[in-house]
A = this chain, B = another copy of it.
């Protein structure tokens, strides 16, 4: 990535932070950039390990603080499909998550239009967030039967 693209990317992240009323810091920009560029549903530890070489002295606590803040402000969403650790995503209600029970890989799958339309909740409930978690065997593992 050249200097111009990098500058643009940083500007984007800063803009997103400002739009959501979040104070800008070096660490927050980097974590947000990381999430914007990786649709890999990383854990806190993954984000931390990947960022550490570029941010000497980074603390895992800061990554925890930062992703929690992003979730509160609606920038990111917390995936609980694993059950043992949280994964993070740029918030996007338009897809489901599929976990391969063989290899553990996590896929984004398109959410059928009819499905989100059918998503209703009984009177009295106010729906704020929904997650469709699917489990099974992915194409790659099916081939390697």
Chain A, residues 97-139, CB within 8 Å of chain B (1/0): the string is 0100100000101101011001111111111111111111111
CA distance A1 to B127 in the complex (A): 39
Q: A80-B81, A80-B133, A121-B136 are in contact. Are A128 and B114 (CB under 8 A)?
A: no
Cross-chain pairs A/B with CB under 8 angstroms, 8 sampled: A80-B133, A83-B83, A115-B115, A127-B134, A128-B135, A128-B137, A130-B134, A131-B131
Which residues does A use to contact B, with CB under 8 Å?
A: 78, 80-83, 86, 98, 101, 107, 109-110, 112, 114-115, 118-139, 142
User: Do A125 and B112 touch across chains, with their CB atoms under 8 A apart?
Assistant: no
User: Do B142 and A136 touch across chains, with their CB atoms under 8 A apart?
Assistant: no
User: Do A124 and B142 touch across chains, with their CB atoms under 8 A apart?
Assistant: yes
CA distance A131 to B127 in the complex (A): 16
CB neighbours (8 Å) of A134 from chain B are: 121, 125, 127, 129-131
